Structure 1
Amino acid sequence: MRERYSSLKALRFPDQLRALAEGGVAAPVHIRIKPINACNHHCWYCAYRADNLELGSKMELRDKIPDAKMDEIVGDLISMGVKAVTFSGGGEPLLYQRLPEVVERLVKGGVKVATLTNGALLKGAAAEAFGRYGTWARVSLDAWDGPSYARSRGIGEDEYAKVMGNLSAFARTGSKCALGISFIVGKDNAEHIADFCRQAKDAGISSVKFSGCVVSNSGRENNEYHAAITGTVRAQLDEARKLEDKGFKIIEHYHALEERFDKAYTRCAYLQFLTVIGADSVVYTCQDKAYTNSGQLGSIKDRSFKDFWFSDENKARMKALDPSRDCTHHCVSHSKNLLIEEYLGLDPEHADFV
């Protein structure tokens, strides 16, 4: 299985790198669209709904992108040459009833699609659409049986079997859409990682990515929470890796967070590659700042995304964002920003001496 996760991906896009070097704005490569904020699960660790976490502080559960606005966005992304769209939350993206036709239209227009979902609705028209048109679908899980699933998500114990059934049925179609799991590790499930991986492999899932739950805005407090289970998690991951073969992979993103989230750089280079459109029809800098005041680039309620993206207003807002001042929190793009800044800082007179 070739590498699917890498900070090097951005270096494949010269137009965006050139725009950064010249102080311009190119179309984003990848957009996360959060079509709806309603959700059918109540995950205890959900960063968008936890009162003690900054993320999602402005999120309104009733928001969803209106049909006409979604149609306009799709047309804009196709005409702009955007390469990929991931439908995610906020809420549960598969609750957006028109999503199958939106997915089809994007792909037929040359835009790749993916989704981050809880998997409860990955069946019927939604499963058919992503099975036929999707590049990947990743399902968030944190349990190993019905009772543990019910405890972590505030739903019925029978829902675990239903979701695993959906995943198994999706895998059996033989779709080229890569079906993976995002497993959120916490104290309750640390001892069950290997057991779950056996179930996932038996269901036909191609990969399981492990990340630690976030319990605080403080890196130190997060690390204190995970310190008690790190040894168990490492042992369980070692056991899970024994299941790996050409069709099943363990992806480990379980690690300690920096205790301070200070940034030395003063621009977010990754803004040129990835942005977010929320269910409130507002454009945000990234998933780590979605539904926050500091992450808001501007509203597209009364204008098109394309018009907004290339506007002087957006250029000024992107330029004004200073990570050393505005992003003193966890940042999923931090390592990518460091890499891009190093690349752009190369002396062209010496770059040929590889």
Structure 2
Amino acid sequence: MNKINKDLVEGENKAPFVIELDPTTVCDLACPGCISGDLLNQKNPLDRGFSKDKIKEITDDIIKSGVSAVILIGGGEPLAHPTTIELIKRLGENDVQIGLTTNGTLMGRYIDIIAKYVSWTRVSMDVATDEMFKNLRPTKTGKSKFNLVVENMKKLANKKRGILGYSFLLRTMADGLIENPAGSNIGVIEHTNVYEIYDAAKLSKEIGCDYFELKPSYDDFHQIVMHSEKDIQIAKTQLEMSRNLEDQNFRVLESVMLRSALKREKVGEQEKKYKKCQSANLRTLITPSGCYVCPYFRGENSKKIGDLRFETLSEMWNGKLRKRVMDKLNPSIDCSNLHCIRHETNQEVDFIIDQFKHKKKIKDKALPRKDYFI
């Protein structure tokens, strides 16, 4: 029985195995319909981002606690924090695996360190052209950084030891004419990107990415957006065209729930019969304004399990507040109407625990490389 399985069954893990960390809420882009739009660029300095000293403390805490992997995400652009790159270097030097989700605009100055220490980097692109980037991923002044991001990705592709991915989120009129998170009318969703799926996949391969990933869009309640029949048919055709680009060095991936989006299935049909979220016992979300059971409840007070501005990682994870929130958390009720990317993980972990409890043998699944991101 490996350590993760043993700790899961016996409930003894004294720290999360995986941490999703928002170093900052600051972002240099102003993407319309951003699911974290109301959390970006907080005015209160305490909520805006961790202090430099606090990032160092959190880094030391992570290493000391034996956390296996950290995913830098947002809530904000991770690389916008002035000490994120120091965090990456220190975690990497101490054998903590690192995942990075980024908009790619600030990677250029940190290519060497990212290439050396980051296990995987996923760049949110959603487009294949400069013009569409200006529509869907503009700066606050309405400019496009598309060419800069492409160049940064090329530089990383030439030096990387880990995996580089090109993320493409479906965006159409069905996402709504949502005001820009920056508080202006720049880049409201008036354009669809489905016509650029193939060209984006082709570009990602030319850049030197390991994969291109097509993702469904979600509303503020984490329900799949119902795109029009016309847009979905175009997306399906473009996806199939993209598959012809695959070879031994490049893959086209479908994100969780993409099939449901392409079938235009009704939202809220991911039935959760389990009453405990095992994923929340494996991993957690840390943000400048507090720690939460998972990213779906980022910023929701009832799912806040602690605050690393005022306590250590160990105090939070083993504290009374987290225990109280976790005891109340019931996925069959609290998460019944959202599409959770950890749903299959929860089912698999429940199965493993049941097998162990009944003293049945579990076959280990071989992975192409050691991966502790669960």
Give the TM-score of the pair, scaled to structure 1: 0.86
CA gap 1:115/1:319 in 2 versus in 1, 3 angstroms: same
State the secondary structure of the residue aligned to 1:244.
coil
State the secondary structure of the residue aligned to 1:247.
coil
State the secondary structure of the residue aligned to 2:259.
coil
What is the identity, as a one-letter code, of the residue corresponding to 1:143? V
State the secondary structure of the residue aligned to 1:31.
strand
* Preserved contact between residue 209 and residue 252 of structure 1 (Cα < 8 Å): yes
Question: Pick from 144, 148, 152: which aligns with 1:166?
Answer: 152
* Preserved contact between residue 115 and residue 136 of structure 1 (Cα < 8 Å): yes
1:178 aligns with 2:163: yes
Q: CA deviation at 1:83?
A: 0.8
Matching of residues 106-121 of structure 1 within 5 Å:
106-121=91-106
Question: Pick from 275, 278, 293: which aligns with 2:287?
Answer: 278
Aligned to 1:148: 132
Cα shift readout 1:260-299 (whole Å, capped 9, x = no counterpart)? 255322111011211110022x111111111112321112
Q: CA deviation at 1:22?
A: 3.0
State the secondary structure of the residue aligned to 2:355.
coil
* Preserved contact between residue 16 and residue 26 of structure 1 (Cα < 8 Å): no
The total of aligned residue pairs comes to 332
What is the identity, as a one-letter code, of the residue corresponding to 1:289? F
1:301 aligns with 2:301: no
Matching of residues 59-78 of structure 1 within 5 Å:
62=45, 63-78=48-63
Q: CA deviation at 1:314?
A: 2.5
Aligned to 2:278: 269
Q: CA deviation at 1:312?
A: 3.8
State how far apart, in whole Å, the 1-side matches of 2:254 and 2:228 are: 15
Cα shift readout 1:188-238 (whole Å, capped 9, x = no counterpart)? 11121111111111111111111011135274xx45325442221111111
1:200 aligns with 2:204: yes
* Preserved contact between residue 136 and residue 178 of structure 1 (Cα < 8 Å): yes
1:15 aligns with 2:23: no
State how far apart, in whole Å, the 2-side matches of 1:346 and 1:163 are: 47
Q: CA deviation at 1:151?
A: 0.7
What is the identity, as a one-letter code, of the residue corresponding to 1:336? T
Unpaired runs of at least 5, structure 1: 1-12, 51-55
What is the RMSD computed on CA atoms of the aligned residues? 2.5
State how far apart, in whole Å, the 2-side matches of 1:290 and 1:215 are: 14
CA gap 1:350/1:90 in 2 versus in 1, 3 angstroms: closer
Aligned to 2:346: 337
* Preserved contact between residue 212 and residue 251 of structure 2 (Cα < 8 Å): yes
Q: CA deviation at 1:244?
A: 0.8
* Preserved contact between residue 277 and residue 330 of structure 2 (Cα < 8 Å): yes
State how far apart, in whole Å, the 2-side matches of 1:81 and 1:108 are: 14
Q: CA deviation at 1:27?
A: 2.0
State how far apart, in whole Å, the 2-side matches of 1:68 and 1:309 are: 21
* Preserved contact between residue 27 and residue 77 of structure 2 (Cα < 8 Å): yes
Aligned to 1:240: 242
Aligned to 1:41: 29
CA gap 1:123/1:61 in 2 versus in 1, 3 angstroms: farther
Cα shift readout 1:173-202 (whole Å, capped 9, x = no counterpart)? 3x2121111110123111211111111111
CA gap 1:197/1:347 in 2 versus in 1, 3 angstroms: closer
Q: CA deviation at 1:127?
A: 1.9
Cα shift readout 1:101-141 (whole Å, capped 9, x = no counterpart)? 111111112211121000001111x2222111111111001
Cα shift readout 1:131-182 (whole Å, capped 9, x = no counterpart)? 1111111100111211110011233555111111111122123x21211111
State how far apart, in whole Å, the 2-side matches of 1:144 and 1:330 are: 27
State the secondary structure of the residue aligned to 1:35.
coil
Q: CA deviation at 1:89?
A: 0.7
State how far apart, in whole Å, the 2-side matches of 1:353 and 1:122 are: 41
Give the TM-score of the pair, scaled to structure 2: 0.82
Q: CA deviation at 1:349?
A: 5.0
CA gap 1:342/1:198 in 2 versus in 1, 3 angstroms: same
State how far apart, in whole Å, the 1-side matches of 2:40 and 2:155 are: 37
State how far apart, in whole Å, the 2-side matches of 1:171 and 1:347 are: 42
CA gap 1:353/1:168 in 2 versus in 1, 3 angstroms: closer
Unpaired runs of at least 5, structure 2: 173-191, 364-374
Aligned to 2:216: 212
Question: Pick from 111, 116, 127: which aligns with 1:132?
Answer: 116
* Preserved contact between residue 58 and residue 293 of structure 1 (Cα < 8 Å): no
Q: CA deviation at 1:57?
A: 10
Aligned to 1:8: none
CA gap 1:226/1:351 in 2 versus in 1, 3 angstroms: farther
CA gap 1:154/1:223 in 2 versus in 1, 3 angstroms: closer
What is the identity, as a one-letter code, of the residue corresponding to 1:308? M
CA gap 1:324/1:194 in 2 versus in 1, 3 angstroms: same
